[in-house]
């Protein structure tokens, strides 16, 4: 089972956004993504694929949430123009971990 690697996630996210944000800024975005999951019951282990939104809709919802939260965070230095790329990269990284997990079973 592949574990979540924050360093790798940060690197992939910065690369996708064509940016070089400090680790703390990217970790803040990752926290916002996971807050979205928690608030929407997406961390519940009994959920199956039938309960999940389609990926385009989910991406749009998460991007909107992160943009809203980043705007409220007066210390956030991440450009709103980069948020969609950052979120998409983080979701792709998560998916790659799930794919690896499926292969090891």
pLDDT of residue 47: 56
- Give the mean pLDDT of the chain: 88
pLDDT of residue 51: 47
pLDDT of residue 4: 94
Residue ranges in the chain whose pLDDT is less than 70? 1, 45-54, 100-105
Q: Report CA-CA distances (Å) from 33 to 58, 76, 102, 103, 105.
A: 11, 15, 23, 25, 27
Q: What is the pTM of this model?
A: 0.85
């Amino acid at each position: 089972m592949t574990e979540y690697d924050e360093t790798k996630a940060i690197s992939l996210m910065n690369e996708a956004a064509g940016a070089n944000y400090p680790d703390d800024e990217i970790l803040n975005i990752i926290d916002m993504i996971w807050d979205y999951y928690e608030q929407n019951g997406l961390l519940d282990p009994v959920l199956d694929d039938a309960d999940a939104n389609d990926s385009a809709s989910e991406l749009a919802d998460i991007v909107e949430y992160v943009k809203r939260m980043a705007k409220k965070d007066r210390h956030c230095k991440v450009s709103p123009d980069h948020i969609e790329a950052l979120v998409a990269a983080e979701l792709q990284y998560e998916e790659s971990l799930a794919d690896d997990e499926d292969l090891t079973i």
